[in-house]
Structures are given as structure tokens and as C-alpha cells.
Amino acid sequence: MQSGEAACKSTGPNMERLMSQYQQADSAAAASLVEFLSPQLHRFFADQMGSRADAEDMLQDVWLRIHRVRHTYRPGEPLLPWVYAIARRVRVDHYRKRQRIGSRESAVEVLPEHSASKDEGHNLPTFEDLVASLPEGQREVLTMLKVNELSLEEVAHATSSTVGAVKQKAHRAYQRLRSLLEQSQFAPHAHKGVAK
Amino acid sequence: MTCRDIDERMSSAPGNPVRTQEAIEHLVKCQDCRALMSVVYEHGQPEALPEIQLNRIQARITEDLRPVRPLPPSRFFLFACAIIFFCIVAIGAAPFGMNGWGSLSMLQKMGVFATIVASAGLLTVSIVGQMVPGNRCTLAPAALPIEILTVLVIVLVAAFRPREEQTFVASGLVCMKNGLTYSIPAALLIWLLVRRGAILYPKLIGAAIGGLAGLIGLTVLEINCSNLNVFHILVWHWGVVLLSSMAGASLGAAVEYVGGGTSVQSPKSADL
């Protein structure tokens, strides 16, 4: 059996192979997977929940769950949809837990904490600020597509949806972002560095 | 090229889609698309995580690392569910003389049993699909049990006619009890099979398992019960499927509530 490092190519790791090796108890492969997937999973959680602390909690939880159900990954299948399907569930659980705690204590703001003022001096709001104002489903699809760089098919797998439904959600998200940009009167200054 | 085409390209292409000539031409004219693309493609790279956190996660998952055998192919589970279905139906039907089967016309047999078998097949595919995260299941797991219950009502109403009945409740309760007698063990057996997978949405899979177990109970009743009154069949036979689905969904919801409340800060998670 090859070690986890051997599965890393010059262009990046072969995640599916690393996962298969992880199933065979290759600790180097498990460590490599954690190293390669954690930053994008953390970004996925941070963009969805808006809080770094929450994202770190969820990152730990998602790895715990991945470890527990690693036998359900079928070698040869794409890994990212499998990982993101688990990550979605972790996010939903975390969101519900926060809601429960919030309803018991006081009205806790569970929406993302990005503030428009944190980028003072820029003409455009940040991607995170804009995405935070989208409905949950659109935010999730857009984050997976544009931040985590999953393909349409992978997003469809991860969300138990169809490619058509994912496209539709993405289109609605883009429309909404356009209107938000227009409303915020940011659009007039927004053409720098696009058409490269 | 229109804004919609730009959207399409943004969704389909992993990188920046403005490298084509026609996209650039559109962007020169369209300020909204320029603004949108600036925002979407100028977000930063994922932040580097503190090494100590990564080390903790790596240490936690490698400390008790043991080889695991990947889940068998879906067809194994489909076959196992089919075996459970037919075995329990055979066990339920054989000792009681199959009076219902004899009193049904050929058209009724074809309509009712074809619908039941097709529904059971769809539910099994949905259940097996839900066992693996990220598995593309084209059947909507939330809608399927409701759709199946609706189709069953339509088929039963079309296949049977109202008849006079003196002991509607008394005989109905016997049927309900008989149906559930087979549904409950069926649900348990299916659950034993399904728990090998990763159950991300217990409520949905609970409704599907309950629905499939209910269909087993319904099949046993249709084979054994000679009462052809449509109201009897709707309330007491179809009711077994409804009750089983609801019980499955409720149990799943309870599991989801308990699991969702503890999973994030479970002791193991805190150890990471």
C-alpha cells in the first residue's frame, strides 16, 4: 500500500486515493486529508455561519463525523460531494443548536456577523457581506460553487439535488447579488479588474 | 450574450469565465455583470488554519485508526430489502388462507399489487440512496412518502367500491392490528440493515422505512382480508402505511433532535 504522501501529485492531492488509504488505516493519508480539506471546509462554515469560532467548532465536528462514517465512502466515487454532504448536516445541526440556545436565553443573532463597515475605503462590499444576505439555499450553492470550487455535478450530489436545481439557485443568487449591488449604489465603481 | 448566459458560465466554469471574447464584449456593456464578477471573483483565498488546530484534529482521528470495510454496493441493500419484503409477506400471508387474494378481481390484483411493488421499489431506492452521503438520488426523499401515499389512495379509490358494513370499527381494528404486527418487525429489520450507512437525515429515512414497512403490512392485509369495502381499505389498510410512515418520521425526528443537540459539543468532539 502506498503512503498518503505518495497520493499527492504536483498539482494537488488525489483526494479519492487518500480517502481509500484512510479507510485502510493509513494515518499519513488521514493527516493529509485533514490538511488539504480543512481550509476549504472552514471557509464553507465561516461563509455560512459568519463566525470564525463557530466555523472552528464545526470543522472539528465534521472531521469527527467523517471519521465515524468513513466506511460509507465508496472507493472510486468523487470525494467532495460525500464530504460536503456531511458538512451540510453539521451546519444544519449547529444552526439548530444555536437557535435552541437562543430561544432559551435571549434573541441571539444567528445570521452572519459580517459588517459592511469593515472594509471601509472599498467601493464594493465583500463577497462574504453580499453572500450573507442571500437565502440559505442560495448562499450554500454559491459558496460551494465559487468559494469551494465544486462543479455543478458535485454540488448537486452534495445537496441531494439536480444540476438543473443547482443552476437555478445559482442564477437566482446572481440576480439577487446584482440587485443588491445596484441598491447599494456600488455598481458605478465596480468595473475594476474584471475583464482580464 | 446576456446576463443569464454570464450566470450560466459562472456556474458551469470553475474559473473566471470572462476570458472568452463574447463574455468580454458583454461585460464592457453591462455594468451590473461587471460589479457582480468583481465581487464573486475577488474573494480571498481560504485563511490558513492554526497548525495547532489541525494537529489536534489529525491526532484525534489517527489515534484509534483501524481499517474499515467500505459499504457494500447499493444492489446488496436493494436485494436485502426485497428479501425482507417478500419473506415477511409470505410469513404473513401463508397461515391465513389468502382469502383476500381470492376475492379480488384480476384488475384489482394488478392495480393494487403493481402499485404496492412499484412504491416499495421506489422507497427502497430512496432509503439505500440516503445511506451514503452525497449519493445522487434523483428521488426527492421528503416528497416520496407523501407522493406514494397519495397514489395509493387514488388507486384504492379507483379499484374498490363502497359496501355496507356492520362492524366497521371492530373488524377494522383487527386489520389495523394485523397490519402493524407485520409492519413493526419489518421496520426493525430494515433499520438493522440501514444503520450500517451514514444516516444524515433520520426524519426522512425514518419516514421512508416506515412507509416501506407499512407497505409490507398493507400487502399482507390485501392478501388476507376479504373485505372489499373501499372505506375499510382506506381507513384500516392504507392507514397502516400512513401510521407507519408517521411513526418512522416521528422517531427519526426524535433522533434528529437529540443527535442535533448533542453532536456539536459531544465529549469526543470537545476532545479534538
The tens digit of pLDDT for each residue in A35-85 reads 999 998 998 888 877 677 888 889 999 999 999 999 999 998 999 999 999
**B75-106 per-residue burial string, b: 16 or more CB within 10 A, e: under 16:** eebeebbeebbeebbeebbeeeeeebeeebee
d(CA B203, CA B207): 6
Predicted local confidence at residue B45, as pLDDT:
63
Its pTM surpasses 0.90: no
**B255/B249 Cα distance (integer angstroms):** 10
Cβ contact, residue pair B34, A160, below 8 Å: no
Per-residue pLDDT of chain B (272 residues; tens, 9 = 90+): 788 888 877 877 666 666 777 778 888 888 888 778 777 777 666 667 778 888 999 999 888 899 999 999 999 999 999 999 999 999 998 877 788 898 999 999 999 999 999 999 999 999 999 999 988 777 788 899 999 999 999 999 999 999 988 889 999 999 999 999 999 999 999 999 999 999 899 999 999 999 999 999 999 999 999 999 999 999 999 999 999 999 999 999 999 888 754 333 333 333 33
ipTM above 0.85, yes or no: no
Residues from chain B contacting residue A27 (CB–CB below 8 Å): 62, 65
Which grid coordinates are listed for B126? 430512496
Phi, psi dihedral angles at A184 (to 5 degrees): -75, -5
Q: Which of B6, B32, B47 sits opposite A182 (nearest CB)?
A: B32
Instruction: Give the N- to C-terminal CA distance of chain B in Å, as an integer.
Output: 51
Measuring CA to CA, which residue among B112, B120, B175, B111 is closest to residue B145?
B120
A7-44 in b/e burial notation, b at 16+ Cβ within 10 A? Answer: bbeeeebebbbbbbbbbeebbbbbbbbbbebbbbbbbb
Interchain contact B263–A (C-beta under 8 A): yes
Do B261 and A100 lie within an 8 Å CB cutoff? yes
What does the alpha-carbon distance between residue B16 and residue A65 come to, in Å, rounded to a whole number?
A: 34
Question: How would you write the pLDDT of chain A (196 residues) with one tens digit per residue?
Answer: 445 444 444 445 788 999 999 999 999 999 999 999 999 899 888 887 767 788 888 999 999 999 999 999 999 899 999 999 999 999 888 888 877 776 665 444 444 444 444 444 456 677 777 888 888 888 888 888 888 888 888 898 888 888 888 999 988 988 888 888 877 754 444 444 333 3
Q: In 3D, which of A119, A104, A98, A103 has the Cα closest to residue A48?
A: A98
What is the C-alpha end-to-end distance of chain A, expressed in Å? Answer: 45
**Average pLDDT score over chain A:** 78
In one letter, which amino acid is A17?
R
Determine the residue among A69, A131, A150 to mutate to test chain B binding: the one whose Cβ has the most chain B Cβ atoms within 10 Å. Answer: A69
What residues are paired with A12 via a beta bridge? A9
Based on C-alpha coordinates, what's the Rg of chain A? 19
Q: Which three cell numbers stand for residue B110?
A: 394488478
List the one residue out of B211, B215, B210, B207 whose CA is nearest residue B142.
B207
* Apex B40 CA angle, B36 and B43, nearest 5: 140
